[in-house]
Structure 1
Amino acid sequence: MRNPLAIVAAASLLATAVLTGCAKAGEDTASDDGPAKVTMWTHSAGNPGELAVYKQLIADFNASQDDYQVVQQNFPQGAYNDAITGAAAAKKLPCLLDMDGPIMPNWAWAGYLQPLDLPKTITDKLLPTAVGSYDGKIYSAGYWDAAMAIFARTSVLEKNKLRVPTIDRPWTQAEFDAALTTLKGAGYKTPVDLGAADTGEWWPYAYSSMLQSAGGDLIDRSTMKSADGVLNSPDSVRFLTWFQNAFEKGWADHAGPVGNQRFIDGKVALSYTGVWNAKDAVEKVGDDLAILPPVDFGKGAKIGGGSWQWGISTGCSGKAAEGARKYLEFSFQDKYLTAFSDSQVVIPATDSAAAASKYFGPNGKLKTFAELSKKFALSRPATPAYPVISTSFEKAAKAAMDGQDPKEALDEAVQSIDSDLKSNGYGD
């Protein structure tokens, strides 16, 4: 299936769009002659399961009342950010738009979005990582989240006398290192697939949570004004040194296909991957599949959180804006959250929706992911500088993987991030 991860693929285009200033989107389409038209854009073209749920949801909402009519337009994920950028520059954004969770603060700061103003009875029930806040206000909310885990085969762990980690007691870094050494000695050329062949937002999503587990972070979250002393802290350097060593020792490599195929084929013993690969793993590996928690690098296990969410554009006003909020309130019914979850294999944003899911409910084979998300998931930094943070961290981690001194790579990332923060006046 399509990776549901947020891909901040058009960071440079977004930065260019921000320079154009506030994007006062489309027009209020209310009229006295009929229902107010509420335009809605999604990134879901090419995802038939997700689109089928939206089709039913919109039909149900439109049939439930006579005041508003939601009209949907779908874009391929790869073209979506470009479409938003162009519409913002022309001040013709739709009323409703979905967005990758970590990009929301950039869009809110740029003037694309207005506060969501949904009832707290809705937002308080959602996973914290499914609610997007910036500058003390909620601007976005989502129906689901994704989560990371380590896939293993129980038979392989038992054969090599490795402790099976649990949510309450994940592997420590020392245990993980020992397990990788053991598995390499057992004949695995590459014991773990860390997913390093992937690109873009995967890098901060997958690896900055490891950085946080080690005690580092992408930015000083208490002020959101500098990465210095945090991204290049001793703890951050220690983690990136471990990351570099994992490749130098042959525990991991950056070859192979993106996804989980090498684990399914038995070429690697462990796979650090996401819930979007879990259904295939269950089908191919069966009852031998073990879904393990992330490694605790010293400060507690962590995983990335925050997937696609919904917001309302600043140009949506009057009856159309009223209709957009009514639609969102209607859409957060558990039956729709469960339908989105089961059509895409992503984690429902409420406990009650998860309980009804065939994958994440009490008897679901993927219920571990819902538990991992609740216990370990962290959002990426809520700052308009996130696109530059994302690309700077990716560059630093790849440079370290390829042999650059980790402290030097992180210092360069800090310089890029702090320069962006200063030049744009984020947080001033």
Structure 2
Amino acid sequence: MVSTPLKRLATIGLAAALALSLAACGKGSSSGNSAETDANGTATLKLWTHNAGNDKELAAINQVVSDYNGSQAKYKVEVQAFPQDSYNTSVTAAAASKSLPCILDVDGPNVPNWAWAGYLAPLDGMDDQISKFLPSTVGAYNGKNYSVGYYDVALIMEARKSALAENGIRIPTSDQPWTKDEFAAALAAIKASGKWANALDMQTGNTGEWWPYAYSPFLQSFGGDLINRADYKSADGELNGPAAVEWANWFRSLTTDGYMPLKSGADPAQDFLNGKTAILYNGSWGAEPARASAIADDIVFLPSVDLGQGPKIGGGSWQWAVSQGCSSPEGALDYMKFALQDKYVASVSEATGTIPATDAAAAMVPGYEPGGVNDLFRQFSKEFALVRPVTPGYPFIATTFTKTAQDILNGADPQQALDQAVKDIDANQQSNNNFQ
């Protein structure tokens, strides 16, 4: 599970952009088959997942399906697993040909786009059950729930305790995270010690969705955002206002002041474990290998930095949904209600090493129970997670932000770069009638 979340994040941007382009020209085209009934009256429901090659998660999903099929005779769910790299294109192609499965998983940021495009049906009658899930694991759009997931992950700071102690740096907590000034002082002290090649590594060598997922939370902590979330019509004032410019200058200063590399190495996690880096901006998925390393006793997991408006971290991972075209929607919803029992939330999150989406499930997963070694990651998710903008235009926003942030790190004028990003995002929203 170490590299899987990063790989997933890296693949979302291109696939999501493709989803947007196909959705725009094929909106409402997903009605069709999805269920077949045999001579005994059993309706077969197809389920698609991105987990081909992800053996542990696929095995956990197959067990859920096996249990469901054995619990009743009215419906039979059949699993088809796709490689993640081709999954989103398979879904959009199926939508265009009116052949979506009844049940499918979807990456959280794509939910508004797929719901707007007519791929997904609301999860009617499930609000009470869904209310028990972490907000970041629920895909909502226009006031309706369209998807829900078993798990999430949390962005964290991994730090060498010795580097903090030797430089008199306070260990932050959820209640008292580092302030911007404390973080700056910590980086300056670590750099001045001369013991570390990198005081900080923010994994800037990663690509795709990592950029908005990992770096827009810092923008939001400054008080800016990717778009105005009141109506999702414009990014003006949010992505190019004073708070956004302050974020841009701060982000670039991390490299110009020599605290972090302009572009990270091929394996920032190993650089951290091998003693090259003092503080690594990472995800909760990095905890297991860190605890298994030779320096486990010298590693501490910390909340993100409060840059003025509280710490923020990205929220939303893979979730489950029902297609709009399913010819047996009552069967698909019956499966969803069964599959989202706490014991299955626990089994899938345990298989993937991720944060369980319900309190009851967390109590079943070793380490995630209250006071467990991983409970802090769940608390980070509860307290600090912010889902990416809930608009069908998000794929375009994501790629625009990525290019802009990269340009800024490479020397572009922050105000000019952000102003251009706003123009591009607003034009895309308006060209789609704000996705109304």
Instruction: State the TM-score bracket (shorter-chain normalisation).
Output: over 0.9
Contact 2:147 2:319 (8 Å CA) reproduced: yes
Note if 1:68 corresponds to 2:61: no
Contact 1:36 1:67 (8 Å CA) reproduced: yes
Range 244-253 or range 63-72, more displaced: 244-253
Identity of aligned residues (%): 47
Q: 2:62 aligns with which of 55, 58, 66?
A: 55
Note if 1:298 corresponds to 2:308: yes
Residue 239 of structure 1: how far off its partner (Å): 0.5
After superposition, the C-alpha distances for 1:135-161 in whole angstroms (9 at most, x for unaligned) are 111111111111101001222211111
The residue identity in structure 2 corresponding to 1:3 is T
Residue 16 of structure 1: how far off its partner (Å): 2.4
- Counterpart CA distance in 1 for 2:186 and 2:307 is 14
Correspondence list, 1:181-192, <5 A: 181-187=188-194, 188-192=196-200
Residue number in structure 2 paired with 1:260: 269
When residues 28 and 189 of structure 1 are mapped into structure 2, their CA distance, relative to the original with a 3 A threshold, is: closer
Range 18-27 or range 290-299, more displaced: 18-27
Residue number in structure 2 paired with 1:365: 373
Residue 217 of structure 1: how far off its partner (Å): 0.4
Residue number in structure 2 paired with 1:80: 87
Residue number in structure 2 paired with 1:195: 203
Residue number in structure 2 paired with 1:219: 227
The residue identity in structure 1 corresponding to 2:20 is A
Note if 1:177 corresponds to 2:184: yes
- Counterpart CA distance in 1 for 2:35 and 2:313 is 42
- Counterpart CA distance in 1 for 2:385 and 2:257 is 29
Residue number in structure 1 paired with 2:116: 109
Q: 1:332 aligns with which of 335, 340, 365?
A: 340
The residue identity in structure 1 corresponding to 2:307 is F
Residue 303 of structure 1: how far off its partner (Å): 0.6
Contact 1:131 1:140 (8 Å CA) reproduced: yes
TM-score (norm 2): 0.95
Q: 1:14 aligns with which of 9, 19, 22?
A: 19
Residue 120 of structure 1: how far off its partner (Å): 2.3
RMSD over equivalenced CA pairs, Å: 1.4
- Counterpart CA distance in 2 for 1:156 and 1:337 is 38
- Counterpart CA distance in 2 for 1:155 and 1:362 is 27
- Counterpart CA distance in 2 for 1:68 and 1:11 is 32
Contact 1:345 1:359 (8 Å CA) reproduced: no
Residue number in structure 2 paired with 1:3: 4
TM-score (norm 1): 0.97
- Counterpart CA distance in 2 for 1:351 and 1:410 is 40
- Counterpart CA distance in 2 for 1:48 and 1:402 is 39
The residue identity in structure 2 corresponding to 1:297 is L
Residue number in structure 1 paired with 2:144: 137
Q: 1:308 aligns with which of 318, 330, 353?
A: 318
Residue 230 of structure 1: how far off its partner (Å): 0.8
Secondary structure at the residue paired with 1:133?
strand
Contact 2:200 2:279 (8 Å CA) reproduced: yes
Residue 301 of structure 1: how far off its partner (Å): 0.8
Secondary structure at the residue paired with 2:33?
coil
After superposition, the C-alpha distances for 1:13-71 in whole angstroms (9 at most, x for unaligned) are 22321212322244152436231111110011111110110111110000000000000
The residue identity in structure 2 corresponding to 1:307 is S
Q: 2:288 aligns with which of 265, 269, 279?
A: 279
- Counterpart CA distance in 1 for 2:206 and 2:422 is 23
Range 261-270 or range 115-124, more displaced: 115-124
Residue number in structure 2 paired with 1:149: 156
Residue number in structure 2 paired with 1:33: 39
Range 256-265 or range 333-342, more displaced: 256-265
Contact 1:198 1:258 (8 Å CA) reproduced: no
Unaligned runs of 5+ in 2: none
The residue identity in structure 2 corresponding to 1:72 is V
Contact 1:115 1:312 (8 Å CA) reproduced: yes
Residue 89 of structure 1: how far off its partner (Å): 1.2
Residue 419 of structure 1: how far off its partner (Å): 1.0
Range 156-165 or range 30-39, more displaced: 30-39
Q: 1:388 aligns with which of 374, 378, 396?
A: 396
Residue number in structure 1 paired with 2:411: 403
- Counterpart CA distance in 2 for 1:149 and 1:51 is 26
Residue 118 of structure 1: how far off its partner (Å): 4.2
The residue identity in structure 2 corresponding to 1:339 is S
Secondary structure at the residue paired with 2:26?
coil
Contact 2:34 2:46 (8 Å CA) reproduced: no
Secondary structure at the residue paired with 2:248?
helix
Unaligned runs of 5+ in 1: none
Secondary structure at the residue paired with 1:231?
coil
The residue identity in structure 2 corresponding to 1:9 is L
Secondary structure at the residue paired with 2:326?
coil
Number of residue pairs matched by the alignment: 426
Range 251-260 or range 73-82, more displaced: 251-260
Contact 1:17 1:88 (8 Å CA) reproduced: no
The residue identity in structure 1 corresponding to 2:29 is A
The residue identity in structure 1 corresponding to 2:321 is G
When residues 355 and 246 of structure 1 are mapped into structure 2, their CA distance, relative to the original with a 3 A threshold, is: same
